Amino acid sequence: MNQPGRLHPITIAIRDMADIFGRMGFGIAYGPELETEHYNFDALNIPADHPSRDMWDTFWVKGKEDEGRKLLRTHTSPVQIRWLEKYGAPTRIIAPGKVFRNESTDATHEAQFYQLEGLAVDEDITLAHLKGTLERFSKEYFGTGAKVRLRPSYFPFTEPSVEVDVWFPQQQKWLEVMGAGMVHPKVLENAGIDAGKYQGFAFGLGVERFAMIKYGIPDVRLFHSGDIRFNYAFEQKVRTSDVLTSEKAV
């Protein structure tokens, strides 16, 4: 007998995440996978000569001569700029999507993986809003027993910046799952937002790493292995709520 089809676990994870953020009033945005240097780096306060560009090993793509060189986006953060330029502030969105890094793989690193970006811009947004949002999200996604910790970090597009770790019970270790922080005023200005009036928080989480912890998956490479038995280990699931306020490509 034919078996019914299954959703890929990454699809399940993104839908679960979108449901949780949807209940917190976040809409959903999508940006292009083939990006310009401007949106992936420059507008995010990462100029060409800045050493922090090395944080993202990049697949460069030859563009037409008049267009300059392009790249496969190394993170979902360029969607922040595209969205703010188009829709302005105040705003609250998530942006899930595929990203690419020219790096060697291991159990927690893939060359192609999914991130889910979050952005909230308004008057009087503070780090406490970021912390509260991430705590509520983690508890809803993993359950109330989840152990989450924030560490000080550095990203050129946030000040202050943090990295978030979640306890991986099956492996008895902390796993880094996300970068986050308060949006740098220069980034807001680059997107045409008055940084004197508005502040924001933002984050970029690794979808596969969240699912690894939730389902006890030992190796990130299983998600993209194409082994159908992996998919069949997950229950097919349809979205039960449709609470997203908007869904737009920028």
Q: Which residues of this protein are in contact with ligand YSA, per CB under 6 A?
A: 75, 77, 101, 103, 109-110, 113, 115, 155, 157-158, 176-181, 202-204, 206, 208-209, 220
* Cβ proximity to ligand YSA, 135 vs 243, nearer residue: 135
Smallest gap from Cβ 115 to ligand YSA, in A, equals 5
Residue 175 beta carbon to ligand YSA: minimum distance, rounded to whole angstroms: 8
Give the residue with the Cβ less far from ligand YSA, 96 or 181. 181
Strands 247-249 and 34-36: unpaired
Q: In the complex, what is the shortest distance from the CB of residue 99 to ligand YSA, in angstroms, rounded to a whole number?
A: 7
Q: Which helix (H) or strand (E) holds 190?
A: helix 185-190
For residue 27, list its beta bridge partners.
93
Residue whose C-alpha is closest to residue 114's, from 223, 190, 199: 223
> Distance (Å, rounded) from C-alpha 171 to C-alpha 216?
8
Contact 175, 147 (CB under 8 A): no
Query: Residue 107 in contact with residue 212, Cβ under 8 Å?
Result: no
Token pair for 70: 């392009």
Whole-angstrom Cα distance, residue 205 to residue 96?
Answer: 9
For the CB of residue 2, give the shortest distance to ligand YSA in the complex, in Å. 33
Closest approach, Cβ 197 to ligand YSA, in A, equals 19
Name the residue nearer to ligand YSA (CB basis): 82 or 209. 209
Which CB sits closer to ligand YSA, 55 or 243?
55
Question: Measured at CB, which residue is nearest to ligand YSA?
Answer: 206
- Of the pair 16, 243, the CB lying nearest ligand YSA is at 16
- Shortest distance in whole angstroms from residue 160 CB to ligand YSA: 10
Sheet strand arrangement including 60-61: 34-36, 70-72, 60-61
Handedness of CA 136, 139, 144, 149 (dihedral sign): negative
**Of the two residues 10 and 177, which places its CB atom closer to ligand YSA in the complex?**
177
